[in-house]
Amino acid sequence: MTELLDTTTRALRRIAIGQQVKGRLPGVAAGVARHGKLIWNDGIGSADLTEPDRAPGPDDQFLIASNTKTFTAVMIMQLRDEGRLTLDDTLDQHLPEVTHPGITIRQMLSHSSGMQREPVGDIWDKLVMPDRAELFAGLVEAERVHLPHHLWHYSNLMYNLLGEVIARLDGTEWSAALQRRLLDPLELRRTSVGFDDGPRSQCYYVPPYSDVPVTEPVFDLKASAPCGALASTLTDLATWSGFVADPDPEILSPDTLEEMCQPQIVMDVERWQGAMGLGFFLIRSGHRVYAGHTGGMPGQISGLFTDRESGTGGAVLMNSTSAPDPAAFAIELAEHVIDHDPEEQEVWRPGTTVPEEYAELLGTWYTEGSPHVFSVRDGRLEARSPKLPDHKPSSVFEKVGEDLYRTVAGRERGELLRVTRDESGAVLKLNWATYLVTREPLPFGVQP
């Protein structure tokens, strides 16, 4: 475990105790991960009130509920990358029984389909979830309560059906696909559909007018498993946090994970502090954006959020139906470590060569009346405006042809940079995203 300052660990414990007291939680397991490893964890209160002095540990299972959706979303994106579906496919292309036209995979992942929240029936009243036959039978009555993309409207129903898409394309159960695609490759040994036989936290409800907890029921989610059936531990969630920050390309392309963390629709239209990606909540805290999810089942509340830039994630597992905001709690832990106990900055090391083809491109160029400095770092061509704020990335270019480069990061990402030479072979001008780039500042319409 990476050493943290004593002041950091004391502050983290104070945060966790404060939330436990404020939320009247029988128990809480809290942790901070960095690059997929727990660097701090603590247990406050009791995992099981029959053993009141045993605090929840990093290997105690809790139901992580809707954090399950991030696993389901990653599997959908694996299938996309395999060419077996597209995000603009409609649901009925894969599930012909679905009679609601026009629902796309992208809408389902981002909760922008407008479909109702839950499967048909009072399932949270009776705690009896539909099996697959009942799920599809109820679809006839399911309502589209909003126009697609009109607003963010959370839908467990849509994630149930995403699980069915995975099952049909893989020719197996959703749980078996999950085991093969994610749990085994990532060695998530204590992440399972429902509780396994190892140590776990009990489920409680603390009534508002007394301090005597009541045990909550544990039940089978059946066809709703893909939206919320998983149980996990702090140790396993630290690994998942590391995957979200920097995925193994053998499991999921880093570019695909980045795509999943691009905003699709605003969740918090009042203050614009939260957006929805493809399966991930994107929550702003100051100048950082954390990717993750929350989860809630009777007696168990969870939150896991990761700052992908630093690889730091906060995780909270609470054994009470009514609990503090798990997103705010998890982010507060991660934020404290990043702010007060960050990793050492990587030492700058000199480069060894400047590619000959870049020699004439280095220095200051002008476009749209403003300067951009072209330079080489680690053998790659970059461009940066002197006006660009420090937190914004430089533009980075990759060669795609003779005197032709693709912008792969920063401003104009995806656009081409074209080099034009005169009859002697000297560089005459550049065109970046078609805009003229010259050594001297020129007004529009004037050629060098």
- Contact indicator for 334, 314 with CB cutoff of 8 Å: yes
pLDDT digits (tens, 9 = 90+) for 235-281: 999 999 999 999 999 999 999 999 999 999 999 999 999 999 999 99
- H or E stretch covering 383: strand 380-384
Half-sphere exposure at residue 334, Cβ-oriented, CA atoms within 13 angstroms:
35
pLDDT-based confidence at 380, cuts 50/70/90? very high
User: In the 8-state DSSP scheme, what is residue 380?
Assistant: E
Calculate mean pLDDT across residues 400-418: 97
Calculate mean pLDDT across residues 153-163: 98
| Cα–Cα distance, 240 to 120 (Å, whole number) | 32
pTM of structure = 0.95
Place of tokens 């901070």: 32
For residue 338 the two structure tokens come to 């990043």
Maximum Cα–Cα distance for the chain, whole Å? 87
Whether residue 2 is predicted with pLDDT greater than 80 in this model: the reply is no
Calculate mean pLDDT across residues 21-38: 98
Between the alpha carbon of residue 210 and those of residues 20, 54, 207, 391, the distances in Å are 16, 23, 6, 49
User: In the 8-state DSSP scheme, what is residue 34?
Assistant: E
pLDDT digits (tens, 9 = 90+) for 204-225: 999 999 999 999 999 999 999 9
- Contact indicator for 213, 204 with CB cutoff of 8 Å: yes
- Contact indicator for 209, 98 with CB cutoff of 8 Å: no
Boundaries of every domain in the chain? 6-340, 356-437
pLDDT attached to residue 71? 98
| Cα–Cα distance, 380 to 241 (Å, whole number) | 30
Superfamily in which the 6-340 domain is placed by CATH = DD-peptidase/beta-lactamase superfamily (3.40.710.10)
Whether residue 351 is predicted with pLDDT greater than 90 in this model: the reply is no
- Contact indicator for 68, 76 with CB cutoff of 8 Å: no
Place of tokens 């401003």: 411
